Structure 1
Amino acid sequence: MTDSLPIAVTAPLTHAQRTQIMNLVRRAAKAEILPRFRQLGAHQIDQKSGPQDLVTDADKAAEAMLTRGLLAMFPHALVVGEENASVNPDIIDQIAEAELCFTIDPVDGTWNYAHGLAMFGVMVSILRFGVPVFGLLYDPIMNDFIIADTQSDAELVMPRRVRRKLSTSTGGAIQDLSGYIAINLIPEAKQAEMAATLPQFARALSLRCACHEMRMVAQGAVDFALYSKLTPWDQPAGVVAVQQAGGHAAMLDGSDYRGDLKDGYLLVASDKATWDRLRDLFAFLIDAPQA
């Protein structure tokens, strides 16, 4: 593996580099994630901020393997992994100035994973000065990737090198939309008002896994996702995938999304017209202080 991507990156990745990263992610899942799935003991699961925010031995081991592999390929890169950042939060402040930053969510959907639910994934993104330019969303169970960068279409890459271009849904009126909202992460003072919007949708729920939520939006299976807890590892990969599949992503106040943002509301939708309708519906959140 070589450092063939210069630090002053202008294009996200070459085809060879994309393949190297996919192979690395696949190896990490095979070595560290899948062998522990439904095999974890209580001593291998810890809480971070509380019982809904878990970390497992798989998260830590997979992140360490991914970090080593990425730095072997790109030794000048800043690598920000969820678990390292949870104990070294100051690293997040370096993202805005980094010419080449990789973010890693080694097991997105850890609560699902720890409870034996096969709804989890691995996400890797590239940020350039905080702007997402590449996203990879991997499903270890099905061994397939959604991958995209700012210069190419979003693709579903399946085993046997089968590739399929992705397109978001056609969107539509509020009553026809399905999407994802984690109401427990909305500020408490606004949760009742948010709950009152849910019956207006055809369906609104949460998968407890941004990886699969963003995959569903990019594939056109659902129409939107709203995020009120922003991290550099949870949303950037999905934002690139959704945008390159034809969707629209922006902060609820209309400003551009950045991977280094810590506050605000990110709304991704199948197209700009649908995004606008949802923005109008959720406008009451903008004045709400976030938890």
Structure 2
Amino acid sequence: MTVSDQQSNFAVGSKSFTAVAINCAAKAGEWIKTKLGNYTSLSLKYSAQDLVTEVDKGSETMIRNLIHTHFPDHSFLGEEGVEPGPEASEKALQRVRDAEYLWIVDPVDGTTNFVHGFPFFSVSIALSYKGEVIVGVVYDPMRDELFVAEKGKGAYVRGRRMEVSSDAALSKSLIATGFPADPHYALPMNMKGLQALVPQVRNVRSGGSAALHMAYVASGRLSGFWEFGLNSWDLAAGALLVTESGGKVTDTKGAPYDLGVRNVVATNGHIHEEMLTALAKADAAG
């Protein structure tokens, strides 16, 4: 099923919010794909692992302009409009999180992969209403896979309803994590968790796009995902995908997900408590 076919399926939100999100993700994703191996500028942001190209900035500008064409009064929070580092991210979110309608966008989630030509990156677009995510879209342009969720209406990929995996124990689970750009706190904490969880699970993957990891939990390809030091634009769309597919999303200490969560655990629900307990036992819950 093509992106255009899916647009007609999901043009059901109030004022077609979902259709706009899908259109933005599809257009940005197709443009990003044409730039693979063809970007011209590369710079560092917060650390040597935190990269940005003109493609990230161009994608965000395209998405912002398209959204504001339809909804000029809506607020917008995009990764490239925020100074690097966790403090700046938190401040940027605080300024807009109570807006009536807030679009939360990661224009290229997986920039490091994009820079290296590793075909695992995505466009993540979420819409929150008074602080609660009501639409989430994650688009993988390399596989032409569009993951879409509307609050209360389920989540879909390629037009099919998604369901989380049925794995009932960590020992039967394939899970994922990432390696945070923050070398002082988030990375060491994640490494502690990795050391604790690897012997307890079937295996661990690290694809390099938190939004796609969450989409893969939603679609049952992974049974769990955790990572430290993420931002609202990494998580907002993916969190709705997971919950609308029957899964569970909390912070690493078990508190319910909200836009301010930076340290996340997202699972099929069945292994959630076991995963939280394993992280806590390893002193890897933050």
| Aligned equivalent of 1:8 | none
Pairing partner for 2:265 from 244, 264, 267: 267
Q: What is the CA distance between 1:146 and its match in structure 2?
A: 0.5
Gaps of 5+ in 1: 1-11, 158-162
Q: Which runs of 5+ in 2 are unaligned?
A: 1-11
| 1:126-141 equivalences in 2 (<5 Å) | 126-141=127-142
2:118 is aligned to: 117
Question: How far apart, in 2, do the equivalents of 1:17 and 1:129 lie?
Answer: 15
1:1-291 correspondence to structure 2 within 5 Å: 13-14=13-14, 16-31=16-31, 33-41=32-40, 44-86=41-83, 89=89, 90-157=91-158, 163-182=159-178, 186-188=186-188, 191-192=191-192, 194-261=194-261, 263=262, 265-271=263-269, 273-284=270-281
Aligned partners of 1:156 and 1:164 also within 8 Å: yes
Please give the root-mean-square deviation of Cα atoms over the aligned residues, in Å: 2.2
- C-alpha distance in 2, partners of 1:190/1:219? 24
Please give the per-residue CA displacement for 1:92-130, whole angstroms capped at 9, x wherever unaligned. Answer: 222332111101100000000011111001000112233
| TM-score, structure 1 normalization | 0.84
Q: Which moved more, 1:142-151 or 1:52-61?
A: 142-151
- Matching residue's letter, 1:225: F
SS of the residue corresponding to residue 217 of structure 2 reads helix
Q: For 2:232, what is the secondary structure of its paired residue? A: coil
Letter in 2 for 1:27: K
1:248–1:196 CA distance, 2 compared to 1 (3 A): closer
Shift of 1:28: 2.3
Task: Compute the TM-score of the two structures, normalised by the length of structure 2.
Answer: 0.86
Q: Which amino acid in the other structure matches residue 61 of structure 1?
A: G
How many positions carry a matched residue from both structures? 267
Against the structure 1 CA distance between its residues 250 and 109, is the aligned structure 2 distance closer, same or farther, given a 3 Å change threshold? same
Stretch of structure 1 that moved more, 277-286 or 137-146: 277-286
| Partners of 2:18 and 2:135 within 8 A in 1 | no
Identity %: 23
Q: Give 1:187 deviation, angstroms.
A: 5.0
Cα distance in 2 for residues equivalent to 1:101 and 1:285: 37
Aligned in 2, Cα 1:172/1:144: closer, same or farther, shift over 3 Å? same
